[in-house]
Structure 1
């Protein structure tokens, strides 16, 4: 009997879970970050980031095929030893916990900045933590359904950005490679962080029903993320001048302030409410995967009690930490550097080790 069959997910849920983790805060700030480093050529860096993320994603799937009914920890326990599996579980739990913590506090700051400026951070975090717990306690299948639901609910949003194209200037995009290739290569770093989320496949793979489509699914997830980032980045670049776009922290929200309808005064407030739903598909799986990693160490299946403690510590942390945009930027930078190793370098090292291990064992049997 499969160890994780009780909480399996469909291919669509697998796709939307990975794409949801990837979108996160990059949806709001990535256009500005790319413009600061590469100007209007930042969209080219997105293509490079997509290619690198896809190669690493396929490597993860290739490694997990060696032990399809287990997670990364089960695979390391089998190939290296019990200590390696436990060490990886601790590191992974810390990574996803800090990742989720940074994202959810960033969401709190966004909401306070745009909608509820006089509401204390503690109250905002409690309002986000309660529904987060109610969703995460249902397990990965419920989170997969939620990510799929959020995708369908927010499917209309990209079409509203097309309205801004009436006042856009496509000449801003020309010529290509304005300052050469070097600025584009510098801009690849924020795109690598923007595509982080595919590394969750290390833990999601055994839950997937149709494992034969895991490679296609993770490619579709990366492509979906690429299309969203390209759409928002290009729209902001052609709407704002190359110098103006860097003056806005969240240009993808600011561009909506120029749209007016008779039946609504501030369209960006409505959009930001849906943006929070999209960002929630980033921190929710991260919280669950962190708790799941700790439970794996102790061999427990019920994650709800540990999840309760996680949410309580999350809220209580505001008694000692006062989050700011600059501080969360520093945290996200740390997460980015850690994620680049975990998502982009570690899969190749692990694949090489597993390949050599199986090769040597096959030779010993042949001898």
Structure 2
């Protein structure tokens, strides 16, 4: 599939796009989740999950290079146009549900920490209007927001980690590897969805100029986020005790409470507000992938599909109450693991065999 060069991005920008796709609200709470069984050895699980992500990126590039297009083209080659569209619809459904999960997570943080009486539908409308504005500008605008989501927040992240390190007890991490292999695997599984997001490459690959040359930047982007998540886990584990961590819903966000300035009392307000850049970039990328895929499947204008998706997202945010949010997140996690870490390798194997049979034929 050929894309006009005016709409394509340089290969090095894939680094920022991968970063943006992986870093969302999950980094604020994943420490508690991965430490449930593996304790403070769970940071090993983050590193192992990062290795699986690197392998997954390699497989995606192999798959997309063989099809010379996106995941919709891959499905058409393997299953035919009609059945292929059905499989592509499942991937698009995941992108949309994942965006709703991110949106719900950020709205919950705003309601708990800043505006407890503000309705979810108001927040979702405000955020989605901003996201619609970004996505309607095209993929290059989405990548530009991804670049900003990397550039600005790094300053706040560095400041955030400096304060707890001064009061850290790194002895909390000792003894190392005193949990079973199965416990470590459980932390790997929990980390996989936290590090999810690279699957957006399945849709935006054709928009990369000389796509094959961008692979090293995709790997570097995933490596950077893996190290960032690992460092975040180590900082939290060295600051909290295991009992404290188990009862802290957003460990990284709670670290902002120890930051006091003579001119600023509530640093968390700035931190949460700054996070809107990160959330907007991630939502824009996911909704762009979904609307782009549905445009190719149904041959409709992308802006109309985006409007429908945005409206449906607002409705779903209203229907999913707090008691069902955990079940919804678990469903998205399982969907991610099966679709991308089980289905994509099988799809790559099938496409490789088909290519070889055509050559031999």
- Sort the TM-score into its range (normalised by shorter chain): over 0.9
Q: Could you list the runs of 5+ residues in structure 1 that have no partner in the other structure?
A: none
Deviation at 1:4, TM superposition (A): 5.3
SS in 2 for 1:196: coil
Q: 2: distance between equivalents of 1:242 and 1:316?
A: 38
SS in 1 for 2:263: coil
Q: Could you list the runs of 5+ residues in structure 2 that have no partner in the other structure?
A: none
* Residue 290 of structure 1 pairs with residue 309 of structure 2: no
Aligned residues: 360
Residue 150 (structure 1) aligns with = 149
Alignment of 1:109-148 (within 5 A): 109-148=108-147
Contact 2:104 2:317 (8 Å CA) reproduced? no
Q: TM-score, normalised by structure 2?
A: 0.95
Q: 1: distance between equivalents of 2:80 and 2:188?
A: 36
Residue 32 (structure 1) aligns with = 32
Contact 1:38 1:183 (8 Å CA) reproduced? yes
Contact 1:24 1:103 (8 Å CA) reproduced? yes
Residue 67 (structure 1) aligns with = 67
Q: 2: distance between equivalents of 1:348 and 1:317?
A: 31
Residue 43 (structure 1) aligns with = 43
Residue 258 (structure 2) aligns with = 258
Residue 164 (structure 1) aligns with = 164
* Residue 323 of structure 1 pairs with residue 332 of structure 2: no
Higher deviation after alignment, 345-354 or 166-175: 345-354
Q: TM-score, normalised by structure 1?
A: 0.93
Residue 180 (structure 2) aligns with = 180
Contact 2:34 2:186 (8 Å CA) reproduced? no
* Residue 22 of structure 1 pairs with residue 22 of structure 2: yes
Contact 1:105 1:323 (8 Å CA) reproduced? no
Structure 1 consecutive aligned stretches of length 4 or more whose deviation exceeds 3 Å:
3-6, 316-319
Deviation at 1:361, TM superposition (A): 1.5
Deviation at 1:6, TM superposition (A): 4.5
Deviation at 1:204, TM superposition (A): 1.3
SS in 2 for 1:265: coil
From the superposition, tell whether residues 317 and 43 of structure 1 become closer, same or farther in structure 2 (CA, over 3 Å).
closer
* Residue 100 of structure 1 pairs with residue 77 of structure 2: no
Q: 2: distance between equivalents of 1:75 and 1:182?
A: 35
Q: 1: distance between equivalents of 2:139 and 2:267?
A: 33
Deviation at 1:331, TM superposition (A): 1.1
